[in-house]
Structure 1
Amino acid sequence: MSEQTPISGSGDVPTVHVKDGQGQELLCFLEQLIPLDGNDYALLTPVDTPVCLFRLSDEDEPELIEPASASEPVLSTAEVVLQEHELSLVRSAVTLTVAGELDEPDPEELDIDADDDDDDDDAETYELLVSFLVAEQEYGLYIPLDPFFVVARMENGHAQLVQGDEFERIQPRIEAELEERESQD
């Protein structure tokens, strides 16, 4: 019996399943492989569209809700609403994702106000995918418009999610390596 490698691909970009500490998986494209300290670190992007769950209110800014702390009724309702659009919610490692055919956002149609009060260049931009009510509270699933990257450590062909202290330690080094690679192109 031969051991199959979890790295596969259809086309030019290989895919890999990344696992988190709870054993949940996320199917990702392998974008870059970066050797550091005797380990291979992978820069990955999810195959399905990542989404963020927000609690919406008329008075306050939308509040980001981490997938692990989202209540079951909220996620179940989101699944039903997405099914009406022939989409499905995937509860996976790292983030929630949506599987199915999504229309690509038109950058000219996005409501991005350059004169926003915050003037925060680091602010992420999101596009509303769907909104829905649960127990008279409004929620929305938003697509982040900035690229969504996942960092994993490759071990024997398997990708293990990098989190916490290890992520804090290697993130600047990965960014420096990527900048150097870009400057050489």
Structure 2
Amino acid sequence: MSAYLFNQENEPDESDSITLYDEAGRPLDCYVENSLEKNDVQYLLLTPVDIPVVIIVWDDNEDDDEGVILLDDEEEISRIFADAKAVLAELDLSLKYTAYTLTVSGELPPIEDEDILTLEIEGKDPDGKAQEEELQLLTSFYHEEEQYNIYTPWERVLFLARVASDTEVELVDPDDDDLKSILEELIEELLFEDDD
């Protein structure tokens, strides 16, 4: 559920924004990047206002990508959150425990080639190839002798939502086969606009 501040009669721009809420009531402010109406349902392509980040640990018993563990357990994130926030503050970045993804506000440090991590992620693209995601290392820290690494995705993080009422939207699963064509159409329109 979310507060819905989008005017359907206008084309979306960066002034159009909504706030998504997760089940715990945490907010995530998003820009409306694009919208599309299909079968009398309004769909929105959203991107977070702040910069999404992920926390990664490595399983010492595995090699390369096999050993990468994306931290998504809320209890563990809460346990290390203060340390992560403190180390990011040293980079003038403010860590926020937002809905669906952790985010930071502030200016990212310059990109160094050695700070880029390329991961193969589950699932395949339409050509049958494994998908890759590039992440930029922001910083590392230790908590109880375990090393944690904070990365930000190289590409924009996008969410697909559907308008549920005049005042609410709901996040939809982008892996839903019925919605893949809608997501692809929204992304194609967005990319086309970026090329103009």
- Alignment TM-score, normalising by the size of structure 2: 0.72
CA distance in 1, matches of 2:188, 2:85: 42
Q: Report SS of the residue matched to 1:30.
A: strand
Equivalences for residues 7-156 of structure 1 within 5 A: 7=6, 12-13=13-14, 14-57=16-59, 60=62, 61-66=67-72, 68-103=74-109, 105=111, 111=116, 121-154=130-163, 155-156=165-166
* Equivalent residues, number: 170
Matched with 2:183 is 175
Provide closer, same or farther for how the CA distance between residues 182 and 33 of structure 1 changes in structure 2, counting only shifts above 3 A. Answer: closer
* Equivalent residue letter for 1:101: E
**2:168 is the counterpart of 1:158:** yes
CA deviation profile, 1:3-53 (whole Å, cap 9, x unmatched) = x96349xxx512211222332211111001121232211100111000011
* Equivalent residue letter for 2:107: E
Compute the RMSD of aligned alpha carbons: 3.1
**Does structure 1 retain, via aligned residues, the 8 Å contact 2:33–2:190?**
no
Q: Report SS of the residue matched to 1:174.
A: helix
CA distance in 2, matches of 1:136, 1:149: 34
Gaps of 5+ in 2: 8-12, 119-128
Provide closer, same or farther for how the CA distance between residues 174 and 104 of structure 1 changes in structure 2, counting only shifts above 3 A. Answer: farther
* Equivalent residue letter for 2:50: D
CA distance in 2, matches of 1:94, 1:79: 17
Q: Percent of counterpart pairs with the same letter?
A: 29
CA deviation profile, 1:75-122 (whole Å, cap 9, x unmatched) = 11101111122211111111000111223637x676478xxxxxx651
CA distance in 1, matches of 2:137, 2:191: 35
Which segment is superposed worse, 82-91 or 151-160?
Answer: 151-160
Provide closer, same or farther for how the CA distance between residues 75 and 177 of structure 1 changes in structure 2, counting only shifts above 3 A. Answer: same
Q: CA deviation at 1:170?
A: 4.2
Q: Report SS of the residue matched to 2:87.
A: helix
Q: CA deviation at 1:178?
A: 3.1
CA distance in 1, matches of 2:40, 2:103: 32
**Does structure 2 retain, via aligned residues, the 8 Å contact 1:151–1:161?**
yes
Provide closer, same or farther for how the CA distance between residues 170 and 147 of structure 1 changes in structure 2, counting only shifts above 3 A. Answer: farther
Provide closer, same or farther for how the CA distance between residues 33 and 75 of structure 1 changes in structure 2, counting only shifts above 3 A. Answer: same
